[in-house]
């Protein structure tokens, strides 16, 4: 099954010059979603994992699916003002400003081997911030998984953990 056929390219969204990768067709197809799950599970089996951290928001779609199949827990890494309670937060730079990621302090990440999952890696700022956030909670990021990598933007170079991407696009 060619998963590239299940990604729609939407030009000039969310702003002019950006070619948005829409994963809606993957989510809509039970066969494509099953294939994504199987590929992520094959990679995950190479690691000793205690928890999976899903990045806000499309990372949640895959983190819970994979964690349930591995028989381990999942936790949310959310954007600012999306989680209640006491939080650990980290800010990072974007090309148009700054953003913040947070995790609840009551999540026990200390000394846990963690895989981070997101739908897409572009410049790497969000995933790098998530790595730093987990590290500040004394967790160990053993790997990062993404469905799509925009390889020409070289976001993987920012990461400390090994990156596994299922689909790679080399676009300017």
- Give domain limits for the chain: 48-169
**If one looks up domain 48-169 in CATH, what number appears?**
3.40.50.2020
On the question of pLDDT at 56 being above 70, the answer is yes
Model-level pTM greater than 0.85? Answer: yes
DSSP string, 42-80: HHHTTS--SEEEEETTHHHHHHHHHHHHHT-EEEEEEET
SS3 134: helix
Q: What pLDDT is stored for residue 25 in this prediction?
A: 98
Q: What is the pLDDT of residues 28-46, one digit of tens each?
A: 999 999 999 999 999 999 9
On the question of pLDDT at 172 being above 70, the answer is no
Catalytic option among 28, 58, 149, 156 = 58
Catalytic option among 28, 38, 68, 95 = 95
95 has catalytic annotation: yes
78 has catalytic annotation: no
- Residues 131-154 have a mean pLDDT of 97
Q: What pLDDT is stored for residue 162 in this prediction?
A: 98
């Amino acid at each position: 099954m060619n998963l590239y056929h299940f990604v729609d390219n939407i030009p000039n969204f969310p702003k002019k010059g950006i070619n948005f990768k829409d994963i809606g067709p993957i989510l809509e197809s039970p066969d494509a979603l099953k294939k994504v799950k199987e590929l992520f599970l094959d990679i995950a089996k190479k690691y000793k994992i205690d928890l999976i951290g899903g990045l806000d928001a499309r990372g949640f779609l895959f983190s819970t699916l994979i964690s349930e199949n591995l028989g381990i827990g999942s936790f949310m890494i959310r954007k600012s003002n999306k989680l209640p309670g006491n939080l650990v937060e980290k800010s990072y730079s974007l090309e148009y400003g700054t953003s913040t990621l947070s995790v609840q302090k009551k999540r026990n990440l200390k000394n846990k081997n963690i895989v981070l999952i997101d739908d897409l890696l572009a410049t790497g700022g969000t995933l790098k911030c998530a790595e730093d956030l987990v590290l500040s909670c004394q967790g160990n990021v053993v790997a990062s998984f993404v469905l799509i990598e925009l390889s020409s933007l070289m976001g993987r170079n920012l990461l400390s953990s090994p990156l596994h991407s299922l689909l790679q696009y080399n676009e300017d």
